[in-house]
Structure 1
Amino acid sequence: MHILLTNDDGYHAPGIQTLHRILRLHTNHEISIVAPEGQRSATGHSITLFQPLFISEHNLEGQRGYAISGTPSDCVKLAIQGGLIPKPDLLISGINHGPNLGTDIFYSGTVSAAMEGVLLGVPSIAVSLASFELVDFEPAANFLVKQLDFIIQHHREGLVNINIPGKPESEWRGLKVTRLGKAIYDNVFERRVDPHGRTYFWQSGNLTQDLEDDTDLRAIQEDFISITPMHSDLTDFKCLQPWQTVFNRK
């Protein structure tokens, strides 16, 4: 099997490099890395249209890895449609440094890169370590590698979003299959003026989370691994028939 690794933290980020090392150590899969050259968090599903994409090649234990000047979604498009690598059988985005939970996934470069894989016909996994303080990615990588054959067997299309508690493995309480919760930000934009008289803003705010029992947010709060199946169809099927009933009369 050929696995493409990407992320939004950058090619040299410890999360993706640890995952690559553990995959090479414990599996016989062919592994490629095509990732941004630097930090691209919170870029969502943006792509680069009005600037060129520059590529840096890296030695990847006998293969080649590629660092791209663009966004995470650019990396996936260029890897698969641009012919940098043979089309992968599976895409893994991560391991991200920090959570990707609830409605935050709409801003996430990690999840968007995985969704780009889905749009291009490749089953994908987004995996995140739900902490900005913890820097040991090895337990998360080992968990994913141990579960990989099972996930591959049952995951033939779409996206699986995995968040792993940002605590030592001994404190993990198990695993829950969840739905996306709601993360609502009460944003504040602080207005400032620089020494040249130009106005600028710093964004901050408070977060309110939906902690219902079956959400990914609740699972992580209670130290469970969260697995959320997702797909690319954003159609509101509850509204579809009522709207068709109203407008199809005309």
Structure 2
Amino acid sequence: MGRWVLRRSDIGGESDRPTIMVTNDDGIDAPGLQALVRVLVSTNRYRVWVCAPDSEKSAVSHSITWRHPLSAKRIDINGATAFAVSGTPADCTSLGISKALFSSEPDLVLSGINMGSNCGYHIVYSGTVAGAREAFFNGLPSVSISYDWVGGTSSINDFTLAAEACLPLISSILVEIKNKTFPQKCFLNVDLPTNVLNNKGYKLTKQGKSIVKMGWKQVSSDAQGAQMLSTMTMESNSVASNPEDNSVSQEQLLFKREVRGGHVEEGETDYCYLKQGYITVTTLGALSHADNDSHTFFKEWLPMVADRTSPSALKKCTVAYRIVNGQFEGHWKSQVENEGDVNNVNNLIRDLSEVRLAQGEDQWKYVVDITSPFTVGTLRKKLDQLLYPNRVLTWFRWNKVSPSKVNCFIWRAIQKKIPSVVTLRNRGVDIEHDNCGACINEIECSDDILISCHFACEVRKQVFKWCGIQQNFASVTDLLSFAANWGRCPKKQKIFISICHGLIWNLWKNRNNRMFNKVFINPTLSSGTVKSLVFFWLKCRGKGGICSQNE
């Protein structure tokens, strides 16, 4: 079974975000697409592109434009790069992934959210499904998404709930793509039930044979046509014709479609499970049904995705409360599901009943230190004392200028948990050589790599000379403790801490280059790299005030 490979863009600071391209058949202004893009952008996890038809193209199936060029107009959609295209959904997908419009291929293509379900034989008619199928034809993973819109019951807000319900599925798919375990021989068709807020979870299904039977009726005016909401539903939007105008031209006859019943297949099919309230996930191939291997993969994979998906659903309260005479008074708002929830709610009500509202300024009091207001600093200090009673960590601060991975590495270095030879041997890993790759004579440990090794000493000496500091250190703890208490200017202190972080991070990268790539860098070049790296951090992540590297 083939595997997908996750593609990444190398543009700017977004290279660590997967790219999702969105298309549809309802048009770029459709509420389903707008809701999906808005929810994707709000997660701040993805780079979002939009390439969608400039007008409604429902039920055009997999038709493509061949005889004339397409126009693509830049559209303003907050947080996304968007183009409205004068083509079909298949055209939009083809153009969007071709690198003619965007700089690279997306990692995942989403088509939807369609206004109306796409199940059974109607998948063949669907432009939404065709948008995903076109990506599949070109070797890209894709998903078509449809919401079972019911006139008079559904509302525009349901599209947001539908998009939120798809987030765990989208996130899990991207993980499989990154791990190269996503099946290559299929794409997915997802349908969300009308009551999406109270959906029953995901259900892997097979394409059924449900279909709405269509007929034709002769009309006298083109205003008597029907409005197609989806491939599963039609709404009459006709204008009453003049009773006296019943004559039909002999040269031109007009006909309109009309629904004349339908066929619904019973059993474990997409349409049946959708009507039962499930979010149906159907594997499709080029000719509708996917191969057995793909279906087997998703049969094992789908249960691992969270059943209850919508963040809006999770916000549904089980208790409503109000303040009466300065106290909280609560009552049941909806039925809880199990005994554990009942106990949690009762405990919450009990705690709230002991709250007294003061007349002065609002403050938090908490059990860590009931004598002082709540602060993040005191809570962090208490956690450090509980987790590491024998170690002094009160001077360690998360440095916002340094990237998160650098802060995490610094914390691990303090705990002596970086994967040095000594650490790995303590974990039972058999290491052939135990000497430091730079000084040869010393056994490699965290303090040796980052502090006492002659290479580390020389790099630190040159960097600190640049800072006007002369100081020797015995361990990473000594270095960072010195940095945390150095100077009186908070701004300069933060810069110096960033320099120490950059120094430690650069020494670790040099160690890995020596060990794995057999690349040896001289101390002068390494110290210059530290300066450039920290300057880049300050320039991009700091709050201004740094004008040049010399400053």
Distance 1:23 1:235, change over 3 A: closer
Answering whether residue 200 of structure 2 is matched by residue 163 of structure 1, we say: no
Q: Which residue of 2 aligns with 1:248?
A: none
Q: TM-score, normalised by structure 1?
A: 0.87
1:236 offset after TM fit, Å?
11
Note if contact 2:37-2:80 (Cα within 8 Å) is conserved in structure 1.
Answer: no
Q: Which residue of 2 aligns with 1:240?
A: none
User: 1: CA distance between counterparts of 2:290 and 2:271?
Assistant: 22
Distance 1:91 1:235, change over 3 A: closer
Q: TM-score, normalised by structure 2?
A: 0.41
Distance 1:150 1:106, change over 3 A: same
Distance 1:236 1:40, change over 3 A: closer
User: 2: CA distance between counterparts of 1:218 and 1:119?
Assistant: 28
User: 2: CA distance between counterparts of 1:4 and 1:236?
Assistant: 23
Gaps of 5+ in 1: 238-250
> Secondary structure at the residue paired with 2:140?
coil
Q: Identify the match of residue 31 of structure 2 among 1, 6, 14.
A: 14
Answering whether residue 258 of structure 2 is matched by residue 230 of structure 1, we say: no
User: 2: CA distance between counterparts of 1:87 and 1:104?
Assistant: 29
Q: Which residue of 2 aligns with 1:151?
A: 173
User: 2: CA distance between counterparts of 1:145 and 1:173?
Assistant: 16
Q: Which residue of 2 aligns with 1:97?
A: 115
Distance 1:193 1:61, change over 3 A: closer
Answering whether residue 203 of structure 2 is matched by residue 176 of structure 1, we say: yes
Note if contact 2:72-2:85 (Cα within 8 Å) is conserved in structure 1.
Answer: yes
Q: Which residue of 2 aligns with 1:246?
A: none
User: 1: CA distance between counterparts of 2:130 and 2:25?
Assistant: 9
Answering whether residue 94 of structure 2 is matched by residue 40 of structure 1, we say: no
User: 1: CA distance between counterparts of 2:60 and 2:160?
Assistant: 26
User: 1: CA distance between counterparts of 2:290 and 2:145?
Assistant: 26
Note if contact 2:207-2:289 (Cα within 8 Å) is conserved in structure 1.
Answer: no
Answering whether residue 208 of structure 2 is matched by residue 186 of structure 1, we say: no
Q: Return the letter of the residue paired with 2:191.
A: N
Distance 1:127 1:232, change over 3 A: same
Detail structure 1 runs of 4+ shifted over 6 Å in the superposition. Answer: 234-237
User: 1: CA distance between counterparts of 2:290 and 2:150?
Assistant: 34
Root-mean-square deviation (Å): 2.1
Note if contact 2:70-2:85 (Cα within 8 Å) is conserved in structure 1.
Answer: yes
Pairs within 5 Å for 1:1-250: 1-61=18-78, 64-81=81-98, 83-85=100-102, 86-133=104-151, 134=154, 135=156, 136-154=158-176, 155-157=182-184, 158-170=186-198, 172-194=199-221, 197=249, 198-204=252-258, 205-212=260-267, 214-233=268-287
Distance 1:196 1:188, change over 3 A: closer
User: 2: CA distance between counterparts of 1:235 and 1:140?
Assistant: 25
Q: Which residue of 1 aligns with 2:354?
A: none
Gaps of 5+ in 2: 1-17, 177-181, 222-246, 292-551
Tell me how many residue pairs correspond in the alignment: 235
1:74 offset after TM fit, Å?
0.5
